[in-house]
Structure 1
């Protein structure tokens, strides 16, 4: 696994040099598995538990979608948890470099469940006949004006009892709570070998690119879309996962 050193001191010796806005470039793709494990507390545990949710929610003759699939880690977690017949997984990402590498990762996996890796915008992708939709750290990168429509389309594409699993970095109120969580998140990143300069540069690069929302905002959107059961089922510092179930109509 290539080590994430994109924001290391050797590149940014001049601390006044601004960091460019974050993007899923070829350089990021090369180090992405290391970057996300060392940046997102609880990431590995989230993937391990994803299979439990998929195993119960997936139905024969339906699809699983991984929207914003990056290199396919959640896709593989879902794929290995499918034990019913006639299930297809559709994984989509808009980064050409991510899609190219994701296809290689999926091809190297020996599961029998077919996976289609699509290059495209999740806001334009047709979604239909889904029993499970995974949106892991993707909504936070979309313009705020596009988020309601995507969640509504996901709800409408799910079969009765189908599940959306949404993983996001959350914002918190009041400011003191946000500061406490930010402090401990940065401590986590230091424990993973990132320097203070790397942490500061990455945060600057993500400013106005990753726009988190509060748990209450996510709940309100999910309920407005028609989800009948919304459950906060996982959190590690300021990263959390929410499961939303479509009712039986």
Structure 2
């Protein structure tokens, strides 16, 4: 490890929900944070809020499935904040449907953002980590990786991220880089609110039904995931790599 590796983090999908909470938590932990998302206004506003609170942050608009755009975004981060040594691959979308109704576009869109996006971001960021012989990659999987009706595309992508995580942990470990995945259960976000709307259930009822199936009897909050990310990117987690941590309020989805 270098005497003082740069404390610069990239969080994708940081315009809202889990990504925004992770970015804010890492900023409070002392990292300079680059918030990446397609929604430029959203990440600019989040970055401004971090800066006003005394942190250091920038927003960068990027399509994580575009290789050239990803390389340009990571270069921008390195130029403006310093070499990134932490990457949180959180960007994600849903295109839910039963298999017989699912289109090729539904499938490809989800794979491109979750799998291709995580691959491109990790490939672009790892060179900065290996040069400093220190780094952390955290991939956002899901309990849906265990299987979930109406989510053949999303479940497959999230399961794929678990294999991706374990492989990168093997490849990058000798360079001082750890790679882990977090698999959230039900987290109260705009995405789960949209799911409730899609199935025609008021969100409060949707959350109440979900909480009844969770051993701790509540749904998760973005801050629950941000706290685990904070640990995994810390020096205290330097011997934790290639793991999938289910953050779901119990042992099952």
TM class by shorter chain equals: 0.3 to 0.5
Higher RCO by CA contacts (8 Å cutoff, separation 6 or greater): 1
Q: Which has the higher helix share?
A: 2
Q: Structure 1 length normalisation: TM-score?
A: 0.47
Q: Structure 2 length normalisation: TM-score?
A: 0.46
